[in-house]
């Protein structure tokens, strides 16, 4: 029996300015990295120019997230939950990121407490550093450090809100709910803690800051109060 031997060659298309080998067709570079095809060495067929602070062969090594919005931007399918955030000084803090309760809003938890713990928070305005269980999430007794709150407030925040039973993620935005534009308050200069007289809440009360994912429409009301 006679056997035939077949030899295949891989051809590159290359001129003075371009190299085309097809290796970038599958978009191998992650997190928005830019792929460039290489033809000078068969061992290296493409390279990735990664976004700032990303690294790795295909930009697979990502820096720690710097906000809840950053998390959702990187991973559009990310679920609401507890996350570690790194501030601009390299310090980490843990908080809850809500990606699902309201369309076009991404909320960052800064404080939550039960009525039983109201005494701990009464009179403690946000201009004072008053962390509560800031290293571990506790829905009944939690508040970020002043530095973490101030950092969050400077990450493109557009709104604040206060809600009841937030950890259930099933609250009704028409009752026991307040939302306002962050431009109307200054958390870093000592705003009183969650507006309890307005909410008259029962159970767990939470306060969050949010960055919107789309521009607000003209004429949007400045606050939603309880009915």
- Percentage of residues in the chain having pLDDT higher than 70: 68
User: Which residues are bridge partners to 179 per DSSP?
Assistant: 161, 224
| 178-208 residue pLDDT tens | 777 777 766 656 554 443 333 333 334 456 6
Q: What is the mean pLDDT of residues 51-67?
A: 90
Q: What is the pTM of this model?
A: 0.68
Comparing 40-44, 123-127, 163-167, which segment has the lowest mean pLDDT? 163-167
Segment (H or E) for 147 = helix 146-153
pLDDT of residue 211: 56
For residue 85, the domain's CATH number is 3.90.215
- Number of domains making up the chain: 2
Q: Are strands 44-49 and 34-41 parallel, antiparallel or unpaired?
A: antiparallel
| pLDDT for 151 | 92
Pair (81, 109) in one structural domain: yes
49 & 158 share domain: no
Q: What is the separation, in whole angstroms, between the first and last Cα of the chain?
A: 90
Residues 2 and 106 in one domain: no
Are both 24 and 127 inside the same structural domain? no
CB distance 106 to 213 below 8 Å: yes
For 76-124, write each residue's pLDDT tens digit. Answer: 899 999 999 999 899 999 999 988 888 888 889 888 888 888 888 887 8
CA 93, 99, 103 angle in degrees (round to 5)?
145
Show the 3-state SS of 126-158.
Answer: CCCCCCECCCCCCCCEEECCHHHHHHHHCCCCC
pLDDT at position 174 over 80: no
Residue 9: what pLDDT? Answer: 43
Cα separation, 119 vs 40, in Å, equals: 70
In this structure, the answer to whether residues 195 and 168 fall within a common structural domain is: yes
Same domain for 32 and 76, yes or no, is no
Domain final position from 16, 31, 62: 62
The DSSP symbol for 65 reads P
Q: Which residue has the higher pLDDT, 29 or 115?
A: 29
Co-location of 56 and 99 in the same domain? no
The boundaries of the domain holding residue 214 are: 68-224
Tell me the CATH number at 25: 2.10.25.10
């Amino acid at each position: 029996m006679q056997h035939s031997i077949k030899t295949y060659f891989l051809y590159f298309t290359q001129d003075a300015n371009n190299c085309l080998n097809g290796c970038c067709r599958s978009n191998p570079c992650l997190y928005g990295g830019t792929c460039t095809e290489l033809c000078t060495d068969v061992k290296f067929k493409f390279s990735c120019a990664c976004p700032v602070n990303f690294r790795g062969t295909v930009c697979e090594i990502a820096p720690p997230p710097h906000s809840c919005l950053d998390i959702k931007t990187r991973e559009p399918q990310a679920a609401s939950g507890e996350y570690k955030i790194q501030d601009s000084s390299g310090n980490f803090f843990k908080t809850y990121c809500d990606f699902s309760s309201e369309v076009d809003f991404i909320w960052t938890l800064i404080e939550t407490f039960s009525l039983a713990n109201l005494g701990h928070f009464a009179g403690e305005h946000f201009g004072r550093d008053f962390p509560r269980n800031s290293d571990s999430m506790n829905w009944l007794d939690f508040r970020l450090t002043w530095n973490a709150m101030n950092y969050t407030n400077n990450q493109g925040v557009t709104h604040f809100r206060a809600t009841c039973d937030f950890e259930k993620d099933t609250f009704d935005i028409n009752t026991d709910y307040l939302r306002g534009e962050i431009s109307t308050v200054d958390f870093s200069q000592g705003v009183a803690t969650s507006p309890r007289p307005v909410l008259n809440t029962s159970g767990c009360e939470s306060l969050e800051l949010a960055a919107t994912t789309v521009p607000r429409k003209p004429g949007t009301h400045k606050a939603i109060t309880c009915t």
